Structure 1
């Protein structure tokens, strides 16, 4: 199963609404399906021209590694040589900072949302709000298999 356009748009709109409610800087929100393909993207007025690439990179990295981009950022500090290898292997397609969250349905990954525009922590708050509003669960960090 993968995320539908209807649900992706719900996530985007709810994430943007959360950003406005909290008076965050202008945001760009991207939702990718489980295969890493862009399903929906919105960029608010005054959100920078690189923000779509950053938002997609956060979501793409989460999908590629199977955990949220916050965890990728933490691992980048601990094992920078591995992160450099991942950057090379991916052609620089992912951004290892908070703000990329996996979308789970029934325990299965169905996509990811990435947000860029404010601090990474605030971007992640909006990711989680959007995912919850669409009735899904967001995964921000690594969870070892049980």
Structure 2
């Protein structure tokens, strides 16, 4: 997915957020290697939001799961809550921190190939904004527990 489609995805996320009456958001789209393709912060979204969106996108690419699914799995892994251990250890990767709050979703193309991820921050339902934007541009979301699209 090139820059034009990444920006179309960001525009679709922003439109969904406005449609739902949410606060100004930040959207980050990374490729399948975790490199930023597009980064958009709406006027009025705080500085931390762009970093949160980037960390959500980066977390998805790192684990191949939506951040919401990662949170569920960490909370119940081998009968224990591993969230603090895994999320805390991510601080060793310069510039990135794993995050397991909803708002990061894996993106697949029509052939089912993972082509990157999207992270959204500051919407009251970040994951809904991601899923809606991905579908709107004709791609498919992968949460980890099943396909969406």
**TM-score of the two chains, using structure 1 as the length reference:** 0.87
Q: Is the counterpart of residue 99 in structure 1 residue 103 in structure 2?
A: yes
Query: Which residue of 97, 109, 112 corresponds with 2:114?
Result: 109
Give the deviation of 1:46 after TM superposition.
1.2
Query: Which residue of 35, 59, 70 corresponds with 2:33?
Result: 35
Post-superposition CA distance 1:71-106 (Å, at most 9, x none): 111123224336523541463622111110000011
Count of equivalent residues: 139
Extract unaligned runs of 5+ from structure 1: none
Query: Residue in 2 aligned with 1:55?
Result: 53
Secondary structure of the equivalent of 1:50?
helix
Q: Is the counterpart of residue 135 in structure 1 residue 133 in structure 2?
A: no
Whether the 8 Å contact between 1:69 and 1:97 is mirrored in structure 2 is: yes
Whether the 8 Å contact between 1:103 and 1:138 is mirrored in structure 2 is: yes
Alpha-carbon distance change, 83 to 75 in structure 1, aligned in 2, over 3 angstroms: farther
Whether the 8 Å contact between 1:68 and 1:102 is mirrored in structure 2 is: yes
Q: Distance in 2 between matches of 1:85 and 1:73?
A: 10
